[in-house]
Amino acid sequence: MKKFDDFNEADGMVTAVPKNNADEAVRFDRSIANRRDDAEEEANWERLVSQLMDHDLGNALDIGGQGEAQISREQAVSALVESDDQFADTALQAEAVLDYLDNQNIIEASESNSVTVLKPFDELSGTEYTKMYNNWAAMFDTCIERIDYAHDRVEEAKERFENREEETDRRSSDVNPEKRMQELGQKMENLVGDGKPSDLDEADKQEFKHLREQYHFYENMKEAQGPELDPGSDRVKELGRVMDQFEAMRGIMIDHRENFRELALGEAIFPEDLVELSEQYAGFLSSLSGMMDPKEKMEDEDDDAFFENLGTEGEIETATEQAEQLSDVTTEQTAQ
Amino acid sequence: MQVCTDRWIEAVTTVETAVSRLRTARRPETASPWDTVASVDGALLTLSETLAAVDWFPSLSAAPPEATDRAVGRVLDGLADGTVPADAVETAVAAGRVVRSGDTVEVPLGREQPTAANWYVVLPWAARRLETAVVELQRMGRRLQAVDEPRVADAFGRLEHACRDTATVLAWQPAVVLWLDPPDALVAADFEQLQAFLKRTVAANTEAEFS
């Protein structure tokens, strides 16, 4: 439920007046509801909306069947208070900011205990919520940030592998227990000759004991050595593949983010174009889904089917094409 | 099988002590070099048995701070050499890597973080100490050869070889695990979270009826 419903704006500041007299008024910079001066398509509230989407690593966000996304008011307040961007120092300040953004039709926080950050984008045109196109842009921004973070981690991991390889001058495969065991066995045979170990004199017994312990030592080493592993190369390849996917997705998402920012400014959108945009957007997301989940694909598609389809168009290309088609539609729309 | 750090430390110090005792003897050929061979053989056998029994290395969910790893390494040196540095113990205890009970300090080898990270310090530590022992064994082998003790000198040559092989495997195994299963579950976690986040958006939108 809203805690603030009266907002006085003066000198670039907002004073939020509480509904309950027991609460204190809250003042904050009103620029949160503006577009940025240096990049007029990006809205200042996008960072805040991203924060709500990313709270609890995205788990706090409830995405509904029509593409609408909500977060509980309690979680939204926590997200703003915990944010490094200092959107609010206290829970009351966070409540005031949320209610002000609701007042500005950037989010919907007036009813129940949830905050709607995304409405289905094909329902936004012609409503008072066109600023929510920027929220869709913020969603892509959130994904892009996650990709960037994961990309950095992958780079770190790759660097660490390479350093390890340089540090280790001998590999387990350089140890040859079987060869050593053969050599030691031969030594023991030479030492014992035609007799028995128990027939050896004291000095020979000492040497025999040593050779035998060495033999058992290499027996253990053979077991400890384990299978020969090809260090790094497969892993680095795999990481490279993940990074390629990230890069492909990142580029597509940047395009989409910009498309939605343009839509936010373009307001006039014809319904028939929206249907086309919606279908293409759904197609793009669908292809992205396939690109993102190789494990599921392995389960869903048997080897024969996979082999038969090998060489047909890859998912990344499909997603890119979908993205390009989507860009064309949105460009046409914003131009109209 | 639960592997305790004490066994690693004891085996390493047995090698070092046996070699050191012989090295300081004025006449190595009279200081029972075969006893040294027997001690080193026994310690290497223990190490190889211990290593063969390790059929898993725990995965690390995050790379521990280097300073903490260094502190654990200094604690191991201290336990082996007899004087454990208090500041290293403080650092390692604060990080949950070392357990202090009265005057006793232990370096547990756990399956879960934070003590799981000790595996990646203890094994390379033992490898480094054995590499140092290899140099001493070489020197002793040459001395014994010089005083016309070829059989025991050959035995020292074999010990040197075995020590180097042990050090190689000790250093290599955790390095391979780190290669194949790096301590950044964050890479996988991020990828999975990102995937989950997108898939939820995808599911919501592809199921939506745009008409």
pLDDT tens digits, one per residue of A229-267: 554 456 556 666 666 766 777 777 787 777 778 777 765
C-alpha to C-alpha distances, B147 to A207, B20, B28, nearest whole angstrom? 18, 18, 9
Q: Is residue B210 part of a domain?
A: no
Q: Is residue B26 part of a domain?
A: yes
How many residues are listed for chain B in this entry? 211
Tell if the CB–CB gap between B211 and A275 is shorter than 8 Å.
yes
Q: Is residue B169 part of a domain?
A: yes
Give the pLDDT band (50/70/90) at residue A288. very low
pTM exceeds cut of 0.90: no
Residue A225 in contact with partner chain B when CB distance is under 8 A: yes
Q: Is residue B63 part of a domain?
A: yes
Which candidate from B158, B184, B196 shows the least CB-CB separation from A156? Answer: B184
Percent of the residues in chain A that have a pLDDT greater than 90, as a whole number: 23
Give the pLDDT band (50/70/90) at residue A63. confident
Tell if the CB–CB gap between A285 and B202 is shorter than 8 Å.
yes
C-alpha to C-alpha distances, A208 to A201, A299, B85, nearest whole angstrom? 10, 57, 43
| pLDDT > 60? residue B155 | yes
Cα(B208)–Cα(A120) distance, rounded to whole angstroms?
Answer: 9
Torsion of CA A259, A264, A268, A271, to 10 degrees: 60
| pLDDT > 80? residue A176 | yes
Count up the domains in chain B and report the number: 1
Task: Specify the pLDDT at position A45.
Answer: 92
Check residues A12 and A110 and name the one with the higher pLDDT. Answer: A12
Residue B63 in contact with partner chain A when CB distance is under 8 A: yes
Domain region containing B15? 5-183
Distance from CA of A159 to the nearest CA of B (A): 11
ipTM over 0.85: no
Cα(A13)–Cα(A41) distance, rounded to whole angstroms?
Answer: 22
φ and ψ of B3, to 5 deg: -100, 130
8-state DSSP, B63: P
Cα(A278)–Cα(A269) distance, rounded to whole angstroms?
Answer: 12
Amino acid at A233: S
Residue B27 in contact with partner chain A when CB distance is under 8 A: no
Check residues B99 and A224 and name the one with the higher pLDDT. Answer: B99
H helix or E strand, kind and range, residue B188: helix B185-207
Q: Is residue B208 part of a domain?
A: no
Percent of the residues in chain A that have a pLDDT greater than 70, as a whole number: 64
8-state DSSP, A270: -
What's the CA angle centered on B74, arms B73 and B79, to 5 degrees? 100
Which candidate from B158, B178, B198 shows the least CB-CB separation from A288? Answer: B198
Residue of B nearest to A165 (CA): B175
| pLDDT > 60? residue B200 | no
Would you state the structure tokens that stand for residue B27, as one six-digit string?
């006449």
Residue A146 in contact with partner chain B when CB distance is under 8 A: yes
Task: Specify the pLDDT at position A326.
Answer: 41
Would you state the structure tokens that stand for residue A228, as one six-digit string?
């020969």
- Spatial neighbors of B11 by CB under 8 A, at least 6 apart, are B43, B44, B46, B47, B50, B126
Q: Which B residues, 129 through 168, put their C-beta within 8 Å of a C-beta on chain A?
A: 151, 155, 158, 161-162, 165-166, 168
3-state secondary structure of B139: helix
Beta carbons within 10 angstroms of residue A252's beta carbon: 25
Cα(B119)–Cα(B131) distance, rounded to whole angstroms?
Answer: 18
Check residues A95 and A235 and name the one with the higher pLDDT. Answer: A95
Cα B33 vs. chain centroid, distance in angstroms? Answer: 28
Paired residues of A72 in beta bridges: A114
Paired residues of B105 in beta bridges: B100
φ and ψ of B60, to 5 deg: -100, 135
Q: Is residue B199 part of a domain?
A: no
Candidates B172, B173, B178, B207, partner chain A, best to mutate (most A CBs within 10 A)? B172
Residue of B nearest to A223 (CA): B52
3-state secondary structure of B100: strand
Cβ contacts of A180 on chain B, cutoff 8 Å: 161, 165
3-state secondary structure of A194: coil
Q: State the number of CA atoms in the 13 A half-sphere of A284 facing the CB.
A: 21
Nearest to A152 by CA among A83, A239, A54, A233: A239
Residue A220 in contact with partner chain B when CB distance is under 8 A: yes
Paired residues of A114 in beta bridges: A72
Cβ contacts of B158 on chain A, cutoff 8 Å: 184, 210-211, 214
**Mean pLDDT, rounded, for B117-137:** 91
Q: State the number of CA atoms in the 13 A half-sphere of A230 facing the CB.
A: 5
Tell if the CB–CB gap between A65 and B201 is shorter than 8 Å.
no
Nearest to A220 by CA among B122, B43, B33: B43
Q: Is residue B14 part of a domain?
A: yes
